[in-house]
Amino acid sequence: MPGMEVFGAEERKEVMDVLETKALFRYGHEHIRKGMWKTAEFEAEVCRQTGAKHAHAVSSGTAAVTSIMAAAGVGHGDEVIVPPYTFVAPIEAVVLAGALPIFAEIDETLCLSPEGIEAAITQNTKAVLVIHMCGAPANLEGIVKVCKKHNLVLLEDCGQAMGAKYKGKSVGLHGVAGAFSFDYFKITTCGEGGVTITNSKQIYKNIDQVSDHGHTHEGDNRGMEDHLVMGANFRLGEMNAAIGLAQMRKLPWILGQNRKNKKYIKDRLKEIDGLTFRKMDDESGDSATYLNLFVPSKAIAENLFNQFAKDGVGGVANWYTNMYHFINQWNHIRSMKYPSRLAIHDLEAPQDYNNLNLPKSEDVISRLISIGIQCTWTEEELVGYADKIISSIKKVL
C-alpha cells in the first residue's frame, strides 16, 4: 500500500487549502477559490509525470474504465477481450456498458498475451482491454501489433500501475486511452478516485463530457453550458483531488524505494532453485509494487502460502485461492448475476463463462505467489523480511 504508507503533512496541507476556501466542487466558484483548482492541478501533475497530453480525473478507477470505453465508442454488443486474472472492476465496467467480455489467455507477464488475444478474436471483436496487473506492463509491443493487424481499439486499465512505463512510455498511452485507480490501496491514492489519460484531444473531450452529464465545460456559466452527449456523474471532488495531488508529487520517491527494495529481495531469492519470476519485457518500467514468483506446482504454491501464514509472514498473496482476482472465484460474474436485466442477458453471450477453457492462465495463476513491496521499509526491516521469506520458502521447496 505505498500511497497510504507515505500519507502525511503534505496531503493534510492540500486538503486544508480546500477546506479553508470551501470550494469543494471542481468547476466554477472563482470568487471563493483564492486561485486554487486542486483537480486541475492534479491532472496537470499526472500529465507532467506520465507525459500524456491530456488527463481527466474521475471518481474511481471503475469510473475511469467506464469513461474511456464510452469515449472510444465501445459499448452495446461489442466484444471486448479481457483477462481472467484482474480485479473484477473492469469486467463489470464492460458488462454494464452493454458490451460482451471475451476471456483470453494470459501468460507469465500476468497480463493478456498477444497469442491469447489473437486466438480470441471473432468478427464481432471491437476492443482489447489490457490490464497491467501488479504494477508492471503487459507485452505492449506484441499487443499493439495484434490490435493494429485486426483493427481493434486498444484500451489500457492501468488501475494498479501508476508510474509504470513500457520502453520509456507510460502505460495508458500505448492505445486509445488509459484508466488509473486512486483508491485506498493503490501506489498513489485519493482515498477514492481515478484518472484517465490520452494523447487524443477528441477522446479527452469525450471523457470530459461523459463523466459529467455531457457538460462541455466551455464558458463560465455551468447552468447554460451546451450538452452534446449524455453522461453520468463521475466527477472527482476537490478534497480527494487535493490528496491525489500531494501523492503524485511523492510518486518518484515511492517508485525509487519500491524498485530498490524489490531488487534487494529478488536478488536474494535468485539463489533458490525452483523459483522463477514474472516475465517482463522491460523491467526498468515496473512500478515494483509486487515481486511475483512462480513455484513448480499449484500444490507447492498452496503449501508455501500456508507456510508464510504459519511463520507470520504478511503481505503475500496466492491469487488462485485467496484474493478474488482470478475467474475461478467469480461465480457471480460467470453467471452474470445482476439485480436488473442487462444487455448480456438478451444478447447471445460469446462464451460459456461457466465452462471456459483457459489452461495457460490456470497454470500461471495457480503457481503464482506475490509478495507486496513496501516503500517505507528501513534497511533492517528489508533484510529481516527477506530473511523470513527465504526461511519459509526453504521449508517448502
Ligand X SMILES: Cc1ncc(COP(=O)(O)O)c(C=O)c1O
Question: Smallest distance from the beta carbon of 373 to ligand X, in angstroms?
Answer: 16
Question: Smallest distance from the beta carbon of 76 to ligand X, in angstroms?
Answer: 21
Residue from 66, 160, 240, 257 in contact with ligand X (CB under 6 A)? 160
Closer CB to ligand X, 3 or 159, in the complex: 159
Should residue 62 be labelled a site residue for ligand X when binding is judged by CB under 6 A?
Answer: yes
Should residue 159 be labelled a site residue for ligand X when binding is judged by CB under 6 A?
Answer: yes
Should residue 194 be labelled a site residue for ligand X when binding is judged by CB under 6 A?
Answer: yes
Closer CB to ligand X, 104 or 386, in the complex: 104
Should residue 157 be labelled a site residue for ligand X when binding is judged by CB under 6 A?
Answer: yes
* Total residues interacting with ligand X, rule: CB under 6 A: 15
Should residue 237 be labelled a site residue for ligand X when binding is judged by CB under 6 A?
Answer: no
Window contacting ligand X (CB under 6 A); options: 18-26, 30-38, 153-161, 268-276: 153-161
Should residue 386 be labelled a site residue for ligand X when binding is judged by CB under 6 A?
Answer: no
Restricting to residues 21-60, name those near ligand X by CB under 6 A. Answer: 60
Question: Smallest distance from the beta carbon of 192 to ligand X, in angstroms?
Answer: 6
Q: Is residue 169 among the annotated active site residues?
A: no
CB 132 within 8 A of CB 289: no
Should residue 183 be labelled a site residue for ligand X when binding is judged by CB under 6 A?
Answer: yes
Should residue 131 be labelled a site residue for ligand X when binding is judged by CB under 6 A?
Answer: yes
Closer CB to ligand X, 137 or 389, in the complex: 137
Residue from 181, 188, 196, 287 in contact with ligand X (CB under 6 A)? 181
Separation between Cα atoms, residue 346 and residue 318, nearest integer Å = 36
Residue from 39, 50, 67, 86 in contact with ligand X (CB under 6 A)? 86
- Spot the catalytic one: 186, 250, 262, 266: 186
Closer CB to ligand X, 185 or 277, in the complex: 185
Strand arrangement of the beta sheet that strand 54-58 belongs to: 54-58, 194-198, 177-181, 153-157, 125-131, 79-82, 100-103
Residue from 90, 137, 178, 244 in contact with ligand X (CB under 6 A)? 90
Name 294's bridge partners. Answer: 276, 368
Task: Give the footprint of ligand X on this chain (CB under 6 A).
Answer: 60-62, 65, 86-87, 89-90, 131, 157, 159-160, 181, 183, 194
User: Which of the residues are catalytic?
Assistant: 186
